[in-house]
Amino acid sequence: MLTLEQYIKERDCLDKLTSELGIALKQYQQTIGGLISDNARTTKQYQNDKNSFNAQFSKLRKLNKVYTKIYKTELRKIRFEKRMK
């Protein structure tokens, strides 16, 4: 079990990584509707990037699923203090 500080550090790290991978996925050629084109989807690079994004996002979801319930009051206090600054 992680402490609150460890959880926040891990969460921020995973959040930053998923954001970077999300930006990389948006660089691929898109159709007019905003979807990734079929040509881009079939490339190995896109598939690797998509799999990496899905893996990291899944880790982030699992981490948040457990620790947001454990540290509910502490996280609420931290968010409130950020708003008051």
Residue 12 within any structural domain of the chain: no
Residue 6 within any structural domain of the chain: no
Residue 39 within any structural domain of the chain: yes
Q: Write down the pTM of the prediction.
A: 0.85
| Mean pLDDT, range 21-47, rounded to an integer | 92
Report in angstroms the alpha-carbon separations of 83 from 4, 16, 77, 79, 80. Answer: 19, 21, 10, 6, 5
pLDDT for position 50 = 96
Residue 43 within any structural domain of the chain: yes
Closest to 11 in 3D by CA, of 59, 49, 74, 78: 59
Residue 62: both structure tokens together: 């699992």
Range of the domain at 38: 17-84
Residue 7 within any structural domain of the chain: no
Residue 8 within any structural domain of the chain: no
pLDDT in tens, 6-20: 999 999 999 999 999
> How many structural domains is the chain composed of?
1
